[in-house]
A and B are shown apart, each in its own frame.
Chain A
């Protein structure tokens, strides 16, 4: 370097050489240290490239000595945390190309914040080392990772100006990540997530050479959220979540600590269409049946001896005493009783342990009762590829099972692959519903009568007869196979009246009564053809109408399809009109709220002044609330689960915000105490009040 100094006349003084020498000893530093600047060259130490001294062309006027990290140049001394953060979030290229200048540490912190918050997450403790089979090396890596993680977490605390505290949470559940600390600054939230891994990972993968490694480690990562992300409002300490490469599921407050990992991972697996799902108790209630059935299916297929041992252990521990009372529900080994309603069966103990009914926070009798029947009858999730809604059928394997509900006996038996309830044959799709409905009958005689009726006419047909018709939509694509005469694609709505007389089904088309000879065929008309090229939609529909209705004429079918087009338009015009009416009513509601709150319309939304004097703005599209430039989290309560995109709901939610914010001091306490207590604005308002 001294030779270069002479050749290129760099003019580096002895003092500057001393500085360079000292800086070279700082191997923990990263980024670039600029020791000398001439009009043509700069001399710097590139810590990110093995601490090399480099002479580079100069394009900027910099004061020396200075440093460049995160594209920001500064001349002041930096604490060690800066380098730790730099290792987490430096720019991948041109990190040492100065675009910003920081006059002091706070300004530098702003740059780092911007940089860190520019990404979705940062893995903490990532050593970027290759996988090793050596147990000693693994142990060494784990210790190094832990050291690094601690340093990184401490540096994040420093960045946000908070004193370091131990936020590890020992109540976090294995394999379910939990947010243990949230930092908030300038409309960004950085959440430290603790992930206690305790699972098996498959390694290898060629020709059956896969092997299993057990992973048991506590890991951390930092996720970053902006107000534009739905997650922002729910990023608070104690939140449990699970993610994969496409999507993530977060548990709402009412489900925290309650959903087992196996169920949560199933929810995640089936939520691939949604990038973010906040699952509340209501949502869970809706899908619980599907999950439970899927879990039972899986456990039947994959149960191994280890899992069995664990289950037996749980049985021994939790339910051996013979009787447990939870929320008014009494569980014994052969009965479950609530409010005088008793379910009696031999396998109650096995079911209760298997499904953890007695461990639920909010056990609900009806759900437990229905769950027992689903478990007993081994329901499987059946989803036809051509239908949207799944149905369930029984894979009941045993010969006979008996349970008694409210004194009504229900015996399910299987003979020659056919299912019988109280000796009457019932479809495998209906058997669970028929068994469950026993709870609605007070006498054995009345229930048996219902079973006989269902044995003759399955539930799907019973429903259609009750409604008086089978109705469905069919779309015919133009120019294809049997539809080549169609100039454009068409949708029709077919409504086939269905009535029952002397144990036979009939339909009436154009005032002519036809016997229905195959009801099932009529239910299949709206399914997509299995082989589209061989049998188009129109041809298939015609064939099934012939198959289903005895003596139907070509003229009647033709008229039915022609009328169907009109029916389709009328049907959807009605739905559209209902939708419009909702929107119209929500607009009235919003107008009323604007009047009451004295809000004013601004670009992108509304402005409203609270009684505290605070002026709030509401973005009409995202529903985000701001106080000046500060985003205030507002989470809707009580209207969970409704379609957020629905215009009507959006108008209502704006109206709600306007009315509440205009009386901010009155509602501040509720907003704060029910929320995650991140926005101090509410508590300040309450204290003022």
Chain B
């Protein structure tokens, strides 16, 4: 299976991991939950930055059937990569509905992921 390079800002300059494509959403989710921004580099050279607001939540006020769908999907993903657990306590900060499937779709054709600490206005 294809592996993706994940660079994480650290006191050692940075740490570098090689993560299997299926585990990438989980690894990135962990970094987002750890209060970091993650820049995804796509194979076509374009980039996008993910924040905590992009994380899906299992606590979204939606119709029951959607919840069930989400649960099933979560379970399936949990079996595949074991990363869905990382969303258990996450609430989408912008209040938008982000499904796990939508979150995962952002990781198609990813060349690398780079996690950095955040900054705020002083």
A interface residues with partner B (beta carbon < 8 Å): 232-234, 236, 581-589, 592-593, 596-597, 632-639, 642, 648-649, 651-652, 655-657, 659-660, 662-663, 666-667, 670-672, 674-679, 682
By the criterion CB–CB under 8 Å, are B49 and A663 in contact? yes
Decide yes or no: A635 and B121 within 8 Å by CB, A659-B116, A660-B37, A663-B49 being known contacts: yes
Chain A residues, Cβ within 8 Å of B36: 638
- Of B51, B116, B117, B122, the most chain A CB neighbours within 10 A belong to B122
By the criterion CB–CB under 8 Å, are B122 and A635 in contact? yes
By the criterion CB–CB under 8 Å, are B12 and A593 in contact? no
Interface flag for B9 (CB, 8 Å) = yes
Pick from A581, A642, A679: contact of B121, CB under 8 Å: A679
Q: What is the CB-to-nearest-CB distance from A137 to chain B, in angstroms, rounded to a whole number?
A: 44
Measured in the bound complex, the distance between the Cα atoms of B41 and A676 in whole Å is 31
Measured in the bound complex, the distance between the Cα atoms of B51 and A597 in whole Å is 17
Q: What is the CB-to-nearest-CB distance from B60 to chain A, in angstroms, rounded to a whole number?
A: 20
Pick from B11, B14, B39, B114: contact of A642, CB under 8 Å: B11
B interface residues with partner A (beta carbon < 8 Å): 7, 9, 11-14, 35-37, 39, 41, 47-49, 51, 112, 114, 116-122
Q: What is the CB-to-nearest-CB distance from A640 to chain B, in angstroms, rounded to a whole number?
A: 9
By the criterion CB–CB under 8 Å, are A596 and B118 in contact? no
Measured in the bound complex, the distance between the Cα atoms of B112 and A592 in whole Å is 10
**A233 closest partner in B (C-beta):** B122
- Of B13, B49, B117, B119, the most chain A CB neighbours within 10 A belong to B119
By the criterion CB–CB under 8 Å, are A589 and B120 in contact? no
**A665 closest partner in B (C-beta):** B49
Q: What is the CB-to-nearest-CB distance from B53 to chain A, in angstroms, rounded to a whole number?
A: 8
Q: What is the CB-to-nearest-CB distance from A424 to chain B, in angstroms, rounded to a whole number?
A: 41
Measured in the bound complex, the distance between the Cα atoms of B11 and A584 in whole Å is 12
Q: What is the CB-to-nearest-CB distance from B4 to chain A, in angstroms, rounded to a whole number?
A: 14
Measured in the bound complex, the distance between the Cα atoms of B13 and A649 in whole Å is 7
Pick from B35, B39, B117, B121: contact of A676, CB under 8 Å: B121
By the criterion CB–CB under 8 Å, are B117 and A637 in contact? yes
By the criterion CB–CB under 8 Å, are B122 and A637 in contact? no
Q: What is the CB-to-nearest-CB distance from A456 to chain B, in angstroms, rounded to a whole number?
A: 39
Decide yes or no: A660 and B119 within 8 Å by CB, A582-B12, A596-B41 being known contacts: yes
Pick from B49, B120, B122: contact of A659, CB under 8 Å: B49
By the criterion CB–CB under 8 Å, are B9 and A634 in contact? no
**B15 closest partner in A (C-beta):** A585
Measured in the bound complex, the distance between the Cα atoms of B122 and A657 in whole Å is 14
By the criterion CB–CB under 8 Å, are B122 and A652 in contact? no
Pick from A234, A635, A666: contact of B119, CB under 8 Å: A635
Q: What is the CB-to-nearest-CB distance from A35 to chain B, in angstroms, rounded to a whole number?
A: 49
Chain A residues, Cβ within 8 Å of B120: 634-635, 637, 670-671, 674-675
Measured in the bound complex, the distance between the Cα atoms of B120 and A236 in whole Å is 13
A-B contact pairs, 29 of them (CB 8 A): A236-B122, A581-B12, A587-B13, A589-B14, A592-B7, A592-B114, A593-B114, A634-B119, A634-B122, A635-B119, A635-B121, A635-B122, A637-B117, A638-B117, A638-B118, A648-B13, A649-B11, A656-B9, A659-B114, A660-B49, A663-B47, A663-B48, A663-B49, A666-B49, A667-B49, A667-B118, A671-B119, A674-B120, A676-B121
By the criterion CB–CB under 8 Å, are B47 and A652 in contact? no
By the criterion CB–CB under 8 Å, are B37 and A674 in contact? no
Q: What is the CB-to-nearest-CB distance from A130 to chain B, in angstroms, rounded to a whole number?
A: 41
Decide yes or no: A682 and B9 within 8 Å by CB, A656-B116, A659-B114 being known contacts: no
By the criterion CB–CB under 8 Å, are B13 and A633 in contact? no
Chain B residues, Cβ within 8 Å of A662: 47, 49
Chain A residues, Cβ within 8 Å of B116: 593, 652, 655-656, 659-660
Measured in the bound complex, the distance between the Cα atoms of B51 and A633 in whole Å is 20
**B11 closest partner in A (C-beta):** A642
Chain A residues, Cβ within 8 Å of B122: 232-234, 236, 633-635, 675-676, 678
Measured in the bound complex, the distance between the Cα atoms of B12 and A587 in whole Å is 11
Measured in the bound complex, the distance between the Cα atoms of B13 and A683 in whole Å is 32
**B34 closest partner in A (C-beta):** A638
By the criterion CB–CB under 8 Å, are B14 and A586 in contact? yes
By the criterion CB–CB under 8 Å, are B114 and A596 in contact? yes
**B111 closest partner in A (C-beta):** A596
- Having A593-B116, A659-B114, one finds 20 other A-B pairs with CB under 8 Å, namely A586-B14, A588-B13, A589-B7, A592-B7, A593-B114, A597-B47, A636-B119, A637-B35, A637-B118, A639-B9, A639-B11, A651-B13, A652-B116, A656-B37, A656-B117, A656-B118, A656-B119, A662-B49, A671-B121, A674-B120
Pick from A588, A638, A663, A667: contact of B14, CB under 8 Å: A588
By the criterion CB–CB under 8 Å, are B121 and A652 in contact? no
| Top-6 shortest CB links A-B | A675-B121, A233-B122, A585-B13, A633-B122, A586-B13, A638-B117
Q: What is the CB-to-nearest-CB distance from A484 to chain B, in angstroms, rounded to a whole number?
A: 44
Chain B residues, Cβ within 8 Å of A659: 37, 39, 49, 114, 116
Measured in the bound complex, the distance between the Cα atoms of B120 and A634 in whole Å is 6
Chain B residues, Cβ within 8 Å of A676: 121-122
By the criterion CB–CB under 8 Å, are B121 and A678 in contact? yes
Measured in the bound complex, the distance between the Cα atoms of B115 and A165 in whole Å is 43
Measured in the bound complex, the distance between the Cα atoms of B116 and A636 in whole Å is 11
Pick from A582, A586, A596, A666: contact of B51, CB under 8 Å: A666
Chain A residues, Cβ within 8 Å of B117: 636-639, 652, 656
**A633 closest partner in B (C-beta):** B122
Measured in the bound complex, the distance between the Cα atoms of B11 and A678 in whole Å is 30
By the criterion CB–CB under 8 Å, are A652 and B9 in contact? yes
Q: What is the CB-to-nearest-CB distance from A371 to chain B, in angstroms, rounded to a whole number?
A: 29
Q: What is the CB-to-nearest-CB distance from A404 to chain B, in angstroms, rounded to a whole number?
A: 35
Measured in the bound complex, the distance between the Cα atoms of B115 and A660 in whole Å is 11
Chain B residues, Cβ within 8 Å of A667: 37, 49, 51, 118-119
By the criterion CB–CB under 8 Å, are B9 and A637 in contact? no
**A595 closest partner in B (C-beta):** B41
Q: What is the CB-to-nearest-CB distance from A362 to chain B, in angstroms, rounded to a whole number?
A: 17
Measured in the bound complex, the distance between the Cα atoms of B120 and A635 in whole Å is 5
By the criterion CB–CB under 8 Å, are A596 and B39 in contact? yes
By the criterion CB–CB under 8 Å, are B13 and A670 in contact? no
By the criterion CB–CB under 8 Å, are A634 and B121 in contact? yes
Q: What is the CB-to-nearest-CB distance from A652 to chain B, in angstroms, rounded to a whole number?
A: 5
Measured in the bound complex, the distance between the Cα atoms of B11 and A671 in whole Å is 22
Chain A residues, Cβ within 8 Å of B49: 659-660, 662-663, 666-667
Measured in the bound complex, the distance between the Cα atoms of B121 and A602 in whole Å is 24
Measured in the bound complex, the distance between the Cα atoms of B85 and A461 in whole Å is 45
Measured in the bound complex, the distance between the Cα atoms of B35 and A666 in whole Å is 15
Chain B residues, Cβ within 8 Å of A675: 120-122
Q: What is the CB-to-nearest-CB distance from A294 to chain B, in angstroms, rounded to a whole number?
A: 30
By the criterion CB–CB under 8 Å, are A589 and B9 in contact? yes
Chain B residues, Cβ within 8 Å of A236: 122
Measured in the bound complex, the distance between the Cα atoms of B117 and A163 in whole Å is 38
**A643 closest partner in B (C-beta):** B11
Decide yes or no: A657 and B121 within 8 Å by CB, A589-B7, A652-B14 being known contacts: no
Q: What is the CB-to-nearest-CB distance from B84 to chain A, in angstroms, rounded to a whole number?
A: 24
**A638 closest partner in B (C-beta):** B117
By the criterion CB–CB under 8 Å, are B13 and A583 in contact? yes
Chain A residues, Cβ within 8 Å of B37: 656, 659-660, 667
Measured in the bound complex, the distance between the Cα atoms of B122 and A673 in whole Å is 11
Q: What is the CB-to-nearest-CB distance from B44 to chain A, in angstroms, rounded to a whole number?
A: 13
**B38 closest partner in A (C-beta):** A659
**B13 closest partner in A (C-beta):** A585
Chain A residues, Cβ within 8 Å of B51: 666-667, 670
